[in-house]
């Protein structure tokens, strides 16, 4: 019997911009996890890297998922608790049943965050004119099972602060997928406030090769990234975007080992 084909479909509960699931096979090639006990994502987003590592290596590592997006971390924490997560889903389903643009605009807090990302066009916040309600049942969603079945902890602090805390722990592997230098800074400002892109200032002032922890950064290749990371070991791979433009791009895996 031929081996089961490994797929990299979205494990998260909604589509997430910057999700690295499609890039994971290329990222994994550069990830040296020998002698590692804990995997940390300072800018975790959808947590795809940790999810797929755990899928390939069940119960092997501890995970720390961090993000400055407070609502995202609240959502992760609720996933761990079946009763609370079901209660949230029931509330979201009730809101979504007869949702229209006016009601959507009046939403607040975690419910708005979820509805905005699950139903609306996330990056621009447009309510879809062709919206048809479909009940949410997220219990079997892969990311939910991951946070319940693996040793996963969450934090909601500046990613640089988390790196600084663990940089000299030789049993730690840090996967960095920070906001990109040439992305829409306005979008990141809304979420990350005054820490937008401070990871690049931190790297400029520190030599990552002096750290005892292993660090891997995955970034889109451009002039600024090449100059900033010129002294580090890098591997390059191709990425094809699946959006409207379907453009091709080059990415770099940058490591300190």
Q: How confident is the model at residue 17 (pLDDT cuts 50, 70, 90)?
A: confident
Q: List the chain domain ranges.
A: 24-75+140-255
Topology, domain 24-75+140-255: Rossmann fold (3.40.50)
DSSP code, position 210: G
Q: How confident is the model at residue 247, as a pLDDT?
A: 76
Q: How confident is the model at residue 122, as a pLDDT?
A: 57
Edge-to-edge, what's the strand order for the sheet holding 151-155?
151-155, 62-66, 38-41, 172-176, 214-220, 248-255, 233-240
Q: How far apart are CA 26 and CA 150, in angstroms?
A: 23
Q: What is the pTM of this model?
A: 0.89
DSSP code, position 128: P
Q: How confident is the model at residue 3 (pLDDT cuts 50, 70, 90)?
A: very low
Residue 236 reports pLDDT greater than 70? yes
Q: How far apart are CA 34 and CA 32, in angstroms?
A: 6
Residue 76 reports pLDDT greater than 70? yes
Q: How confident is the model at residue 155, as a pLDDT?
A: 97
Q: Are 30 and 253 in contact (CB under 8 A)?
A: yes
The 10s digit of each residue's pLDDT in 109-129 is 999 999 988 888 655 567 887
Q: Which residue has the higher pLDDT, 178 or 121?
A: 178
Residue 134 reports pLDDT greater than 70? yes
């Amino acid at each position: 019997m031929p081996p089961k084909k490994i797929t990299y479909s979205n494990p998260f509960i909604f589509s997430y911009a910057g999700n690295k699931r499609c890039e994971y096979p290329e990222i994994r090639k550069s990830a040296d996890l020998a002698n590692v006990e804990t995997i940390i994502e300072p800018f975790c987003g959808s947590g795809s890297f940790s999810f797929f590592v755990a899928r390939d290596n069940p119960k092997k590592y501890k995970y720390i998922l961090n993000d400055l997006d407070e609502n995202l971390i609240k959502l992760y924490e609720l996933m761990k608790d079946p009763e609370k997560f079901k209660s949230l889903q029931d509330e979201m389903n009730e809101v979504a049943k007869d949702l229209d643009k006016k009601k959507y605009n009046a939403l607040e807090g975690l419910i708005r965050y979820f509805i905005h990302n699950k139903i609306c066009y996330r990056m621009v916040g447009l309510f879809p004119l062709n919206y048809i309600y479909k009940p949410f049942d997220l219990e079997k969603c892969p990311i939910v099972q991951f946070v319940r079945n693996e040793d996963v902890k969450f934090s909601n602090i500046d990613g640089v602060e988390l790196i600084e805390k663990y940089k000299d722990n030789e049993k730690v592997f840090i996967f960095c997928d920070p906001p990109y230098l040439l992305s829409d800074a306005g979008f990141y400002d809304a979420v990350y406030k005054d820490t937008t892109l401070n990871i690049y200032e931190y790297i400029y002032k520190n030599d990552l090769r002096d750290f005892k922890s292993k660090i891997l950064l995955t970034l889109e290749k451009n002039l600024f990234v090449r100059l900033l990371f010129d002294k580090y070991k890098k591997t390059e791979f191709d990425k094809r975007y699946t959006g409207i433009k379907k453009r091709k791009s080059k990415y770099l895996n940058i490591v300190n080992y």
